[in-house]
Amino acid sequence: STQEWQRADAAHFLHPFTDFQSLARKGSRIITRAEGIYLHDSEGHKILDAMSGLWCVNVGYGRQELVEAATRQLQELPFYNAFFQTATPPAIELAELLAEVTPPQFKHVFFSGSGSEGNDTVVRMVRRYWDLLGQPQRHVIISRKNAYHGSTMAGASLGGMGGMHAQGGLPIPGIVHMEQPYWHELGRGLSRDEFGRVAAGWLEAKILEVGADQVAAFIGEPVQGAGGVIVPPETYWPEIQRICDKYGILLVSDEVICGFGRTGQWFGCERFGTRPDLMTFAKGVTSGYIPLGGVMVGDRVANVLIERGGEFNHGYTYSGHPVACAVAVANIRLIQREGLVERVRDDTGPYLAECFDALRDHPLVGEVQTCGLMGAVLLVKDKASGAPFPEALELGMVCRGHCFGNGLVMRAVGDRMIIAPPLVMTRAQIDDMLVLIRRALDLTLADAQR
């Protein structure tokens, strides 16, 4: 029964990013199965999953092709490593396919088991790159406040979220942070485009502060996801690219959320016009059906690693796991066959933008932003000034509760309500989602006025 699950859950399972006592008090919701864009829980509720699990189930739930690919590979060869100058057909096929769907500078991939491990790989790889070029002092990586790059020591150090550094003595040495391109909070009267250039200029200021000859790389998510779907101004990324080029520092695009169609292009760097040297991926590569991550390695870095490298002392037992790679191949082929990236770019992405724009008339809504099939709605106390509600009200969490109560998963980041639904979502399903969002906003408003 649900109560038995909840009891055992609270007794034994330490959930990630969760207050253990609160979980024990309230009991977790037990998700038992899913189909398309809908989850089902142990109490018989049907829930529209506007978060694609955790930004990953891009092709929706219940896709038999992926199940069959995993089953076939489990029967044929469930595991073999890639350490002993050995490889498996699915890992090779996936490496080749990734080279096909990613921008042309990427012909090589290093596999990991997750996005966090991918970003750990990035830290080691960029430092190795500069070592091989005889510039071992060049080890500093610049990241941004409010970024999320994972939970391993290096991933959490690259990340810039308040609470994470306080636990565990982070960041590790050689990682520094600059401000994020959040116009609503930091724009100070500038137009979005003006602000984009100013915010990119903070990179140049940071490079000069650290010393240009010390800086190895800059890393950023094309759209900051877990930070609250912060869509940067169009002027931001081209200017970041120009500054990286000017100082010869490597540009790393963390595509763990933005990759595989989320923004309406295969990768977020294509949406925002950058040419990264390295690109982290995970989540959407298998649509979350099985864990897999990695780093696409551009020619600039790959040539040095391969030609001057010797052995790169880095890797994971599950680098190139054959079952995960077989699922990824099936998933990418499915995205191609169903034209999901083009569908987000030409149809559902623009439609979601229209629908979110229409939410501006709601008394609680101070700002809306979308990019492809991700979006954010900011709840404010005063629409005219954009003044926020007192933090203690935790209105985002109140709204999240009303969403859940009405059969919708929408995430709260402070008072930003965010979504990233499966890319298979139809216009009619977007309409259904908007009905649920409005209902949750109305209930939240009633609470705020109480």
CB of 156 to ligand PLP, least distance (A): 10
Applying CB under 6 A, among 196, 220, 288, 293 the residue interacting with ligand PLP is 293
Distance CA 224, CA 180 (A): 9
CA 120-61-442 angle, to 5 degrees, is: 95
Which two tokens mark 249? 């520092």
Distance CA 448, CA 450 (A): 6
Does 148 sit near ligand PLP (CB under 6 A)?
yes
CB of 130 to ligand PLP, least distance (A): 23
Considering only the C-alpha atoms of the chain, give the largest distance between any 2 of them, rounded to a whole number of Å: 67
CB of 225 to ligand PLP, least distance (A): 5
Identity at 136, one-letter amino acid code = P
CA 426 from centre of chain: 22
Distance CA 66, CA 74 (A): 12
115 or 298: whose CB is closer to ligand PLP?
Answer: 115
Q: Which stretch binds ligand PLP (CB under 6 A): 2-10, 111-119, 203-211, 236-244?
A: 111-119
Q: Which stretch binds ligand PLP (CB under 6 A): 64-72, 110-118, 240-248, 354-362?
A: 110-118
E strand or H helix at 374: strand 374-379
Distance CA 210, CA 214 (A): 7
Site for ligand PLP in 252-271 (CB under 6 A): 254, 256-257
Does 181 sit near ligand PLP (CB under 6 A)?
no
Which two tokens mark 449? 């006025």
Does 112 sit near ligand PLP (CB under 6 A)?
no
328 or 355: whose CB is closer to ligand PLP?
Answer: 328
297 pairs with which residues across the strands?
108, 278
Q: Which stretch binds ligand PLP (CB under 6 A): 18-26, 128-136, 145-153, 178-186?
A: 145-153
- Site track for ligand PLP across 217-246, x = CB under 6 A: ----x---xx--------------------
Does 115 sit near ligand PLP (CB under 6 A)?
yes
Does 120 sit near ligand PLP (CB under 6 A)?
no
Backbone angles phi, psi at 434, to 5 degrees: -65, -35
253 or 429: whose CB is closer to ligand PLP?
Answer: 253
CA 267 from centre of chain: 11
Write out the residues near ligand PLP by the rule CB under 6 A.
Answer: 114-116, 119, 148-150, 221, 225-226, 254, 256-257, 282, 293
